[in-house]
Amino acid sequence: MAKHVFCRELSLERGEPLPGTGNVAQRSMLVAWPRGKWRLPRFESVDMGPALADAIRLAMRAGIHVALVDRVGETGTLPQLQADGIAADFDSEIELAAAITRLTAGEPLVGRADPRKVILCCTDSRRDACCARFGFATYKALVAAADPETFHIVQATHIGGCRFAASLVLLPQRQRYGRVEPEQAVEFLATLAAGQIYLPAYRGRAGLPETAQVAEHAAMVWADANGLGQDNVRMPDIVWPAAVLDGDELSVTVTAGDAPLQVHLRAEIAPMHGNCEALVDGDDAKMTPRWRLAAIHPLA
């Protein structure tokens, strides 16, 4: 039998960068559902009634990320629905579905406040082998290291970026992380608890175009390394290019503290397999435009 090739390992071999891939939905909902019953699509999961399935489908069509979530051995302790720092339980699945529908329409969730930072860790084996193998190991390490008063850490259905497993999203900050290793769990959590971004695994600021994400990440790394702090990075007010051709270049000035930095980016077209299924099916690599950091230096 041929050895299984993981899309994560292939992405690493190709040197695919993380920065520039940080976009995430503006709104998220967490629905407690046992991991063993997750299916694709998630609104067809085992034992899910039609009213709940319809409500989840409606929310997803509205651009809301609906994550089915679970905790090892603790499914019963999870709130049935969580969004915007509020957690709620219901007497029936019909009531849960109605609450999701109201949330989708813009109404607030009525429940108890939960101010903890939420970490979604994708362990969705139904979606990708990398998420199961690498995601679950990181999830266990995070749970073992976390202060439960500060962090609410859950396993989640697909959140995007299988090839970047372990793939994580921090809420409500909407920070996306990739390739978080179990041995990084303590440092990762300590950084987030301090209100900082964990730059080694950071995929970029949601809402910015890829070029801006890459430039900002590079400037934050430089600022941290030079004692200026990532919070002191200021981005230029410019129109960032969207179209990418192989070999395109872009130079921008980003400010770190009082230091202007010249950030030089270069585009390339590189092969990419988005998940393990594409490899198993023998699909050709998708030639994907990506921006990379070429150089960064302070201006005189």
pLDDT value of residue 271: 85
pLDDT value of residue 3: 61
- Range(s) of the domain holding residue 134: 7-203
Note whether 35 and 122 are within 8 A (CB): no
Last residue of a domain, one of 182, 203, 224: 203
Is the pLDDT assigned to residue 2 strictly greater than 60?
Answer: no
Note whether 292 and 17 are within 8 A (CB): yes
pLDDT in tens, 46-90: 999 999 999 999 999 999 999 999 998 654 578 999 999 999 999
Same domain, 79 and 163: yes
Whether 2 maps to a domain, the answer reads no
pLDDT value of residue 91: 96
Same domain, 223 and 187: no
Is the pLDDT assigned to residue 1 strictly greater than 50?
Answer: no
Q: Give residue 116's pLDDT band: very low, low, confident or very high (50, 70, 90).
A: very high
Same domain, 131 and 166: yes
Same domain, 37 and 170: yes
Domain count, the chain: 2
**Which range, of 225-229, 259-263, 282-286, averages the lowest pLDDT?**
282-286
Same domain, 144 and 212: no
pLDDT in tens, 128-168: 888 888 999 999 999 999 999 999 999 999 998 889 999 99
Note whether 292 and 268 are within 8 A (CB): yes
Sheet holding 28-32, edge to edge: 112-113, 86-88, 81-83, 28-32, 65-70, 151-156, 117-122, 168-171, 175-177, 202-205
pLDDT in tens, 236-276: 999 998 767 788 999 999 999 999 999 999 999 888 877 77
Whether 76 maps to a domain, the answer reads yes
Same domain, 122 and 243: no
Separation of alpha carbons 291 and 300, rounded Å: 26
Last residue of a domain, one of 147, 181, 203: 203
Last residue of a domain, one of 148, 168, 203: 203
Separation of alpha carbons 218 and 24, rounded Å: 20
Which stretch of DSSP H or E encloses residue 44?
A: none
Specify the CATH number for the domain of residue 167: 3.40.30.10
Same domain, 182 and 44: yes
pLDDT value of residue 73: 64
Q: Give residue 285's pLDDT band: very low, low, confident or very high (50, 70, 90).
A: confident
The pTM assigned to this predicted structure is 0.94
Whether 68 maps to a domain, the answer reads yes
Note whether 291 and 211 are within 8 A (CB): yes
Report which of residues 271 and 291 the model is more confident about: 291
pLDDT value of residue 208: 95
Whether 1 maps to a domain, the answer reads no
Report which of residues 65 and 279 the model is more confident about: 65
Percent of the chain whose pLDDT exceeds 90:
79
Would residue 8 be called left, alpha or beta, if left means φ above 0 and alpha means ψ between -120 and 50 degrees?
A: alpha
In this structure, the number of other CB atoms found within 10 A of the CB of residue 175 comes to 22
Same domain, 245 and 268: yes
